[in-house]
Amino acid sequence: MRPPIPLLLGSALLVAQGANADALRDRANAIFKPIPEKVTEVRGQQVSEDQARLGHQLWFDPRLSRSHVISCNTCHNLSIGGSDNVTTSIGHGWQKGPRNSPTVLNAVFNAAQFWDGRAKDLQEQAKGPVQASVEMNNSPERVVQTLKSIPQYAEAFAQAFPNDKDPVSFDNMAYALEAFEVGLITPNAPFDRYLAGDDAALDEQQKKGLALFMDTGCTACHNGVNLGGQNYFPFGVVKRPGADILPESDKGRFAVTNTASDEYVFRAAPLRNVALTPPYFHSGEVWELEQAVAIMGDSQLGRELNATEVSSITAFLHSLTGDQPQVAYPILPPSTATTPKPE
């Protein structure tokens, strides 16, 4: 009887592939971390269900804006990847914001918030757009007046912050929003299943893309649980992109630190769900993920990636799309006669 040679050969090949596969995964596991199933803590403190529930209502409440038309969800839309998929957000009076809206999904894993990291956490971040004249155009006083005018909100704040003498505050509004936002995570992406040992979760092109992503040095900035969001780097480490993509007027983190070396420095974009959140970069002028990958190779690594490499890395980036948070569209408590009118 002839031994089944093709089968033996096949087995040998599988063993070799298995070893390579494990090596790739081991390398990846040393650089990246999976999204956990659940986050219920803020800075080491457990958030309460009452806080998260209140934050859920506030998140969708357009009355946080002066016009009563714009909510947090307008620019961080949970149905389309936690961002708004326009170049830069449209705010009060149809003004266009200066930078592309970052996704709220997994934002809890970022070291700081905004493209320039000017808010140290989500509570601080939440206060920004509410007051920004080009966004929600409201004031803390008017927001508090609005919330206090609505009895069910007053009750919900008292329940969410039982130890506060004056629970309806701008700080607590922001904390409640943060308590909701920490739940907006996207576990179970193909890449996370791969990290956990499921070899079939990525296809061959995606594995090539993962290897390239590590080999070419993308991981110098894009690592950890969020593949970015942890540190600051100049856009154009090697070669500065054109003014269409990197407008001269926006000097990034320089505006926060006033330090010359921070000119055109931005927080490395977190890449989770990046396939869902075009257009790309802080200027939001690049719509194709492939083009964004090529620009990064050129400007950050000084390497002209070929079409196959770009496709492989892009395929890998698609594996970062996780389970999107399922939330109810909340019923909001009605305004009263003393609620400030929209302007």
Tell me the catalytic residues.
135
* Residue 118 phi, psi dihedral angles, 5° rounding: -75, -15
Provide the minimum distance between the beta carbon of 62 and a copy of itself in the complex, in angstroms, as a whole number: 7
Q: Between residues 142 and 267, which has the closer beta carbon with respect to a copy of itself?
A: 142
Q: What is the spatial distance between Cα 95 and Cα 114, in angstroms, rounded to a whole number?
A: 19
Q: Between residues 13 and 80, which has the closer beta carbon with respect to a copy of itself?
A: 80
Q: What is the spatial distance between Cα 82 and Cα 75, in angstroms, rounded to a whole number?
A: 8
The answer to whether the beta carbons of residues 173 and 65 sit under 8 Å apart is: no
* Residue 36 phi, psi dihedral angles, 5° rounding: -70, 165
Provide the minimum distance between the beta carbon of 323 and a copy of itself in the complex, in angstroms, as a whole number: 9
Q: What is the spatial distance between Cα 62 and Cα 73, in angstroms, rounded to a whole number?
A: 9
Provide the minimum distance between the beta carbon of 308 and a copy of itself in the complex, in angstroms, as a whole number: 18
Provide the minimum distance between the beta carbon of 338 and a copy of itself in the complex, in angstroms, as a whole number: 11
Q: What is the spatial distance between Cα 66 and Cα 54, in angstroms, rounded to a whole number?
A: 20
Q: Between residues 234 and 278, which has the closer beta carbon with respect to a copy of itself?
A: 278
Q: Between residues 97 and 234, which has the closer beta carbon with respect to a copy of itself?
A: 97
Provide the minimum distance between the beta carbon of 183 and a copy of itself in the complex, in angstroms, as a whole number: 13
Q: What is the 3-state secondary structure (H, E, C) of 105-168?
A: CCHHHCCCECCCCCECCHHHHHHHHHHCCCCCCCCHHHHHHHHHCCHHHHHHHHHHCCCCCCCC
Instruction: Report the interface residues with a copy of itself, using CB under 8 A.
Output: 60-62, 67-69, 74, 77-81, 84-87, 90, 93-94, 275-276, 278, 287-288, 324, 326-332, 334-335, 337, 341-342
The full DSSP string for 259-283 is -GGGTTEEEPPP-TTGGGS-SBTTT
Q: Between residues 25 and 56, which has the closer beta carbon with respect to a copy of itself?
A: 56
Provide the minimum distance between the beta carbon of 150 and a copy of itself in the complex, in angstroms, as a whole number: 11
The answer to whether the beta carbons of residues 202 and 339 sit under 8 Å apart is: no
Place of tokens 């320089």: 254
Provide the minimum distance between the beta carbon of 41 and a copy of itself in the complex, in angstroms, as a whole number: 24
Q: Which two tokens stand for residue 192?
A: 């996370």
- How many CB atoms are located within 10 Å of the residue 154 CB? 15
Q: Between residues 60 and 175, which has the closer beta carbon with respect to a copy of itself?
A: 60
Q: What is the spatial distance between Cα 120 and Cα 114, in angstroms, rounded to a whole number?
A: 9
| CA atoms 280, 128, 137, 183: torsion sign | positive
The DSSP H or E segment spanning 42 is strand 41-42
Q: Between residues 154 and 327, which has the closer beta carbon with respect to a copy of itself?
A: 327
